[in-house]
Structures are given as C-alpha cells and as structure tokens.
Chains A and B, each alone.
Chain A
Amino acid sequence: MDKIVKDNRAPVSQKPLTMPKPDKDAIGATVGIEINGNPYKVLIGTTILEACRQNNIHVPSLCYHEDLCLAGVCRVCVVEVEGMGTLQAACTFPIINKIKVRTTSEKVRKARRHVLDLMLSEHYGECYSCHRNGNCELQKLAKEYGVDSYKFGHVEKRRYQIDRSSYSVVRDMDKCILCKRCVRTCIDLQEVGVLEAKNRGNNTKITTFMDKPLADVICINCGQCINRCPTAALKANDPSDEIWNVIDDPSKHVVIQTAPSPRAAIGEEFGLPPGTSMTYQMNTALKMIGFDKVFDTDFTADLTIMEEGTELLMRLKKKLVDGDKNVMLPQLTSCSPGWIKYIEHFYPDYLDYLSTCKSPQQMFGSVIKTFYAKEHEIDPSNIVTVAVMPCSAKKFECNRPEMDSSGFKDVDYGLTTRELAQMIREAGLYLPDLPPGNFDDPFGDASGAGLIFGATGGVMEAALRTAYELVTGRPVPFENLDIIPCRGFDGVKQASVKLEKVKPEWSFLEGVDLNFMIAHGTANAKKVMESLVRGELSNIHFIEVMACPGGCLGGGGQPIPTSPEIRKKRAEAIYQEDAGLPVRKSHENPHITYIYEKFLTDGPCGHLSHKLLHTQYVKRGKFIG
C-alpha cells in the first residue's frame, strides 16, 4: 500500500490517529460496536467511516480522501452516535469504545440533504458544459439524494475569473465547494504549499499566495490537486482543440508518442476496472483519430537509460578515479518535470546533482524533429509532436523555452490520459471494443525497461538492468530480471547491488556496492533532499525521484479518482506487461542500437547527445515576486 507521509503541516487533530494499529488477535485490540442495530467488531482507532466501508455499509462522503489527512468539513458523512447530542462526521470519529451508530436515521437523512442543498446553492453548477459531467462527486450526491430543485437558491452568474495562467493547471473557483482536498494535497501530501484558504466565513476562498495567478507562484504543476478535486474546480490545461486542428490540417504530419502509464489507466475512463492494460487498443484508437504516426515513449525511455546510465558511470569514474570535486553524487533522476520544478524552487543550490538528461518526452521530441525528419524526408516545421502523458507537468515542460534543441519546439503539445480519452470519445470510438493495433516503426518497439518507467522505482530498475550488465557483462542477479527492492509503494526505498567480477575497463568498480534510493511524491523527495543537505547521503550513488505518489501511474493527468488501491492495480498492469515482453533491457532494444549507429554516432553522452538529449536547469528559488 501507499505509505503516504503525513507530516506536521496539518493541525494535529486533522490527521488520522497515529495510534499504532494493534494486532488483530491481541487482547483488547478490537471493540464491538453496533451499526444500524447490527453488531460488528473493529480494530480500536478505526474511524466510523472505515468501519462502515469495511462492512459494506454505504456512507456518502465528500471531503474525505484516502490519500489525505482528515478534515471533517463537508459534513456529508454525518451519522448519529448514541448518547451524543450532535451528529458526528463519520470520517473523523475514531472508535475507541462500544458505540452505537445510526447511518440512516431521519436526523441523518435530513442533515445530509440540507448540507447538500447548501453546497448546491453556492456551486456554479453548469453540468452540461462541465468537463466533470458524469464524473463529479457533487453531481453524484445530488442524484443519490434525489435533488430536484435548488431549495436555497442557485448561482446563476460567474463570480470569479478562471485562472488559466498556468500551462498545466486551470483553476475555476466558481466550481469550488471548499472541501479543501486540494489544500491538503498541496500542503500535506506534496508539501509544495501553493494552495490554502484565505479569509473566513462566506468569504473563504481557496487561493494562492496574495491571490497571484498560478503561473506566478511556486506551483510545480504536478496536478495532484486535480486528481483529488471532487468537482471541476481544478482541471488540466486542455490542448485538444488545437490538436484536432492540426490533425485536420493535411499539411501537418502529426506524430504522437504514448507514455507507459496512460495505457495502464485509460481503460478506467471507459468503465474498465483499474489495471486493465489498453496498449494496443489505444494504438488503434489513435490511428483512427487521425494521428499520422503512433510511437512509444518507451523507446526514449530506453534512450534515457543509455544516456543517464552512461552519465552515472562517467560520474562514478570521475569521482572515484579522478577525484573530480566538481562531479556531484548521488546523481538524481530528471524524468519527472514536477520534480524538476520542485528542486529548482526548493533546492536551487543542488541542481548539479541532477542528471542532465532530458525526460523521455523531450528526448522524443528532439529525435522526431531531427533524426526521424531526416530519415523520412519530412520538413520538421511541418511535424507536430504530441505526447500522451499521465502528467500535467509535461505541459509546462514542453513549453520551457530551452526545449528547442531540434531548432523547433521539440514537443508541441502535452496531452493527459483524461484528455486523450475525451478525444477518443469525441471521435465516436469506444476503446474497449477496438481491435489491437501496433505501434509504428521505427520507434514502436521498446523494452520492458522503458515500460516500467511508469511505476515508482521503474527508472531505477531499468537503469540497473543495463548498468549492471554493461559493467559486469552479466544480467542483474535477480530472478527474471525483476529487481524486487525497486518495487512497491514505500515512500523512500533504499537498496544496493554489489558489483563483482567487473569487466576490465570498469575495474575501479570491483567490489563496489552500488547504493540507490527511490522516492515518490515530493514530500518524500523533500525528506531525501533534507538528508542530502545534511550530508548524510555521501555513500549513495543514484536516486530516483518522481513528483507524484506512486510515480507516473499516479500522475496528475491520470483518470479520476485515484487511491492507493487503484495505483497498485495500475502498477501490476505495467509489471505484468513488462514480464511478457521479449526485450526487457534498454541496451538490447534494436532501435537503440540503430540510433547510436546511424545518428548519435559519438555514443551515449557524446557531442550530439548533449545537444539534443541533455538540458540545463534554472535556479528559481522560493521568492514570489
């Protein structure tokens, strides 16, 4: 399960009880309670809501989210607890003694309906023209409670301007119902701290520092707030109209690359259970929509491994053999644009630790508009590259001014999984019914190593599969190449691999324990960085960091809702697909060999690579001007 770190930002009482869950069989560990007249046994410290859900008793909720600390503010989940004068929020009430709960009494029913009516009176609900139509928690509740009129009025006109300043996240406060999930996501889950409530009473509003546009504050664009918003108050900046335009323009050669995570999740948008892999149906859909070529980002993930792995080995050599003080270790991964912006803001003095490799998305863009354009004799100015990503930060990344090493904007549009699903629906297609289709050559075949980039620990696992073999000439000593210590959802993972019987050219690594760490979610990244700042990581060589909980599969562009369980299922789908692929190591991908033979002829980290596949970072700092 996801170990979401809940640090001391939130008021103590708004966190789940830190009481250790006792062993189920220990004496006094459980308590007998009564819900609606029926007896149940639950572990002490379980909340009423958890107890109900464990026993399939429906209690509606809104401000509650599995990933987040507790708030108890929406009051939708109120229940009656015998002996207490007021109703209690089921989501926050810890069970520590025998209580009798009623979830269906008249008081409860009336109160919930009133709460709902009040919310609807303040919500600018234009359901037809709302992108969360059909996937809105407030709408669902309104249906559940049979709302047929606005008892306490209804907002007819917009009150706030939509903030579209950010490349990634759009804020529409007219849709906000003040559940504060975004605040808890931003401050507690991710520890970025962009969103908070201002004012009080009916003037309360979720806002940024001094009400500034999102683009002007230290938002890292991770989009985790979007994934947890129950309504349409937060959404990604949707470029699909522009993409339709270029698709419909015959002079444009529109190429799409698809990242590993969307295929493991897009099925959810079509009602399939989480963890249903849709790789090949998605290829068909993309072709039918009208993309000229459908490529696999996994290819540049493999390329990233070659470049980043080589960079690591070079850094190790410079540090260990040459004693070069300007070389920084541990090397930090650079695939996650949310993480990049995070470190640029919060640890601007540590940018030298970052790998200089571009993310797979950006590598793809520059390869398409150079190598691919040349090989297929297409004028790169007519090529439009679109990237399907699980990510909202990718939209910001492709608009970074330095991302033009091909001479053009390397990637024109970042499209989220949700937006692609919308395009597929708009094209009149039902994804699950489509026949499987393949990726296009030459960037269609990728290794399983590239695929597992989608899960936290995946980059590390892929890198180890290649680096170990480069150095020792043997595959990594793990059964079926599954490097289990890299997998799972612990916030920060650490492990090591011993390098033995190395090839002569790597003799300086003989007997070295290659130490690596993996962190996902910027709150965990912060922990790792604090250790680094304190000088505690001098023995670590390589750290993978992903901005989103669970890695890319939990990205801010993925289908809504998200939960630890859903992310686990998506990870399973990715690892399963990896296990079934014929090539599972990046360096064995024949197209990788080909590109280094034909194009990047001076090899990984060579001159051309540096021009096209590597980048530099900006010291942003925290000051908001």
Chain B
Amino acid sequence: MIDIKQNAMTEEIEMLVGKFGSTRDALMPIIQNIQINHGMISDFAQQEVARMLDVHPVEVYGVVTFYSFLSETPKGRYIVRLCRTISCDMAGKEAVARAVERELGIRFGETTADNKFSLEYINCMGMCDQGPSMLVNDLVFTKLTPHTVVDILSKFK
C-alpha cells in the first residue's frame, strides 16, 4: 500500500521535474505544486525532490520550513487564513477570529479531526481597505463579520 502511494508520488514528482526542470530554481514551483495537491510535502516527497534536483534532503526541508505556505505536516483540505495585521485588527478581526474558532471547533494553528479545515493567521494579505479579510485556499473574502464568516465557511462544509 505504502509502496503504491510512494510510486505514485515519485511519478508525480518526475512529471513536475519534466515540467519545471531539474535545476535548483525549479524547487519552489515543484514543492508548491506538491503542497497544493497533497496539503503537505511529506518526508518521502522531500527526499524524492532532493534526489531528482540533486540537492540534499535537508536543504529541501530548510526551504519547506521557511515559507509559511509550505508544510511538512498534513494540512486540511481548506486552509482558512485570517489576516491579523493592524488594519484588519482595527476593523474587528478579533470577533471574527473567535467566531471562526467556535464554528470549526479548533484553535488557530490546528486542523479539524476530519482533515477538512486548517485554521491559521496570515500576515497582511493586502486587503487592508476591506478588512477584516481572509483567504480560504486561494479565494479571498473581505469585510468579514462574525456572521458572514460563518456563512462563508458553511459553503465549504
């Protein structure tokens, strides 16, 4: 079972290497794609990428842990990222944050038991004129209130 999964991962990475190339500068696009497809970059995937790009696995690990959109541990299918920077904060982020926590039953930094939602804070996402704002994967939601945010999340449930 594990072997089949690993073979599939290897094939997927081979395909990505075919698309983006096997030089070091292809690293980011390759692991970003893995992140999107699998919600994480497993240690096996990291090693396979390292092998194909001829870099050391620990270098891939260093990169994965550096960027906040990349993760070596599993994330939910929907990653809810609430902006916590000052403009959104002043526009009422705290109330929205509490509403989201209550709705999903998890705290920031956690993932729901069914692996559906991960809840995170994000630093300024450039929606300061329309705060509070959040990203759900790559969809933007603005001018959130404790009520609207619950409606939005229910669409993903």
Please give the residue numbers on chain A whose beta carbons come within 8 Å of chain B beta carbons, in ascending order. 9, 187, 192-200, 207-210, 217, 622-624
Contacts and interface: CB of A to CB of B under 8 A. Distances in A.
A624 B57 contact: yes
A210 to B, nearest CB: 5
Interface of B: 43, 46-47, 51, 55-59, 61-62, 65-66, 72
A187 B56 contact: yes
Contact of B66 (A199, A209, A624): A199
Given A198-B65, A199-B66, A187 B47 contact: no
B65 A209 contact: no
Contact of B65 (A193, A199, A623): A199
A83 B71 CA distance: 43
A587 to B, nearest CB: 43
Contacts of B72: 210
A345 to B, nearest CB: 11
A193 B57 CA distance: 8
Contacts of B62: 196-198
A209 B51 contact: no
A425 to B, nearest CB: 36
A193 B54 CA distance: 11
A193 B62 CA distance: 11
Top 8 A-B residue pairs of the complex, sorted by shortest distance between their CB atoms: A193-B56, A196-B62, A198-B65, A196-B58, A209-B58, A209-B57, A199-B65, A210-B43
A198 B56 contact: no
A187 B65 contact: no
Interface of B, helix, strand, loop or mixed by DSSP: helix
Contacts of B51: 622
Contacts of B43: 209-210, 624
A195 B56 CA distance: 10
A376 B47 CA distance: 53
Given A199-B66, A200-B66, A210-B72, A194 B47 contact: no
Nearest to B64: A198
Contacts of B56: 187, 192-194, 196, 209
B58 A194 contact: yes
A349 to B, nearest CB: 15
A624 B61 contact: no
B66 A193 contact: no
A200 B47 CA distance: 21
Given A192-B56, A196-B59, A622-B47, 12 more contacts: A187-B56, A193-B57, A194-B58, A196-B61, A197-B62, A199-B66, A200-B65, A208-B58, A209-B57, A210-B46, A623-B47, A624-B57
A624 B47 contact: yes
23 contacts: A9-B59, A187-B56, A192-B56, A193-B55, A193-B57, A193-B58, A193-B59, A195-B58, A196-B59, A196-B61, A196-B62, A197-B62, A198-B65, A198-B66, A199-B65, A199-B66, A207-B61, A209-B43, A209-B46, A209-B47, A622-B47, A622-B51, A624-B47
Nearest to A625: B43
Interface of A, helix, strand, loop or mixed by DSSP: loop
Nearest to B43: A210
Contacts of A193: 55-59
Contacts of A194: 56, 58
A192 B59 CA distance: 11
A200 B59 CA distance: 14
Contacts of B55: 9, 193
A356 B72 CA distance: 41
Residue from B51, B57, B58, B59 whose CB has the most chain A CB atoms within 10 Å: B58
Nearest to B56: A193
Contacts of B59: 9, 187, 193, 196
B123 to A, nearest CB: 11
Residue from B43, B47, B62 whose CB has the most chain A CB atoms within 10 Å: B62
Contacts of A624: 43, 47, 57
B73 to A, nearest CB: 10
Nearest to B68: A200
Contacts of A199: 65-66
B32 to A, nearest CB: 17
A208 B61 CA distance: 9
B40 to A, nearest CB: 12
A227 B56 CA distance: 22
B153 to A, nearest CB: 29
A198 B64 CA distance: 8
A10 to B, nearest CB: 11
A210 B44 CA distance: 11
Contacts of A187: 56, 59
Contacts of A9: 55, 59
Nearest to B61: A209
B45 to A, nearest CB: 12
Nearest to A212: B43
A210 B61 CA distance: 7
A209 B47 CA distance: 9
A84 B62 CA distance: 33
Nearest to A198: B65
Nearest to A211: B61
Contacts of A622: 47, 51, 57
A9 B50 CA distance: 13
A623 B57 CA distance: 9
